[in-house]
Amino acid sequence: MDFATFFGIIVGFSLIIGAIFIGGAVDTFVNVPGVMIVLGGTMAATSINFPVTDINKAFRAAFYIFAGKSVTANDVVNTMVRIAEISRRDGLLALENIKTENSTLKKACQLIADNTDPETISQTLRIEIVALRNRHAVIQDVFKKMGTYAPSFGMIGTLIGLVQMLTMLDDPASIGPAMAVAILTTFYGALLATLLFLPIAGKLKSRTQQENLHLEIIFQGAQSILENNNPRVVYEKLSSFVPPAERKNERR
């Protein structure tokens, strides 16, 4: 679980809700029509902009940033070193039996076991990296667009509220409360965009960069194993992807 994401969202909403409670007028910040306009409008516009499959993938990816197991670059480096050890001890064919949930790593092991030409491995894994970037770019774009739509629909809700308020100018006492309700939709839109949609898009971008780095390590590791399956050489080459302070060789 990514506790930083969970912590940030919980603390952010808690501080805002706490400030509202301190103000003592909690009920004035609750407006069901405003929520309907902002959330409903944002989802409707997103559905128009993207296929349903892309929206589903985006929300599954958002769930993954909370529930997914965190894998560091150092973990991937050590995994490739262990694969080098297996290939050196048992031969390249032994890599066919490697068990892993990472489909790219599994593909790399299969290609190595088949003694595939290094150029073919290079092209195959490069395609994987490009495909990952393209898939993740769409997912990030879903939340970026939602971060744009939410404040816009907040303004639409405010305009609707202002029109309704102007119809009540003959009752000065109702203008203040009506104005408060009109502004609430802008508040909802800004809150969702600033504390939810855009930060999730940013987190997904960070995850993309991290996974791209992992694929690059796998790519370079596969080439190193084919060229020279000495685990020490493989480690020394791949450890360059990890900051010196974070390097940890499990073989030591």
Using the predicted structure, report yes or no on whether residue 210 has a pLDDT greater than 80. yes
pLDDT classification of 23: cutoffs 50, 70, 90? confident
Angle at 81 between CA 94 and CA 68, to 5 degrees: 95
Using the predicted structure, report yes or no on whether residue 15 has a pLDDT greater than 60. yes
Tell whether 53 is covered by a domain.
yes
How far is the C-alpha of 230 from the C-alpha of 88, rounded, in Å?
Answer: 7
Tell whether 1 is covered by a domain.
no
The pLDDT value given to residue 251: 53
DSSP string, 14-51: HHHHHHHHHHT-GGGG--HHHHIIIIIHHHHHHHHHS-
Tell whether 9 is covered by a domain.
no
Tell whether 99 is covered by a domain.
yes
Tell whether 150 is covered by a domain.
yes
Question: What is the extent of the structural domain holding 129?
Answer: 33-246
148: which 2 tokens? 């744009």
Tell whether 15 is covered by a domain.
no
CB atoms within 10 A of CB 49: 15
Q: Which amino acid is at 179?
A: M
How far is the C-alpha of 118 from the C-alpha of 2, rounded, in Å?
Answer: 36
Q: What is the DSSP letter of 195?
A: I
How many domains does the chain divide into?
Answer: 1
The pLDDT value given to residue 69: 67
Tell whether 197 is covered by a domain.
yes
The pLDDT value given to residue 249: 66
Tell whether 27 is covered by a domain.
no
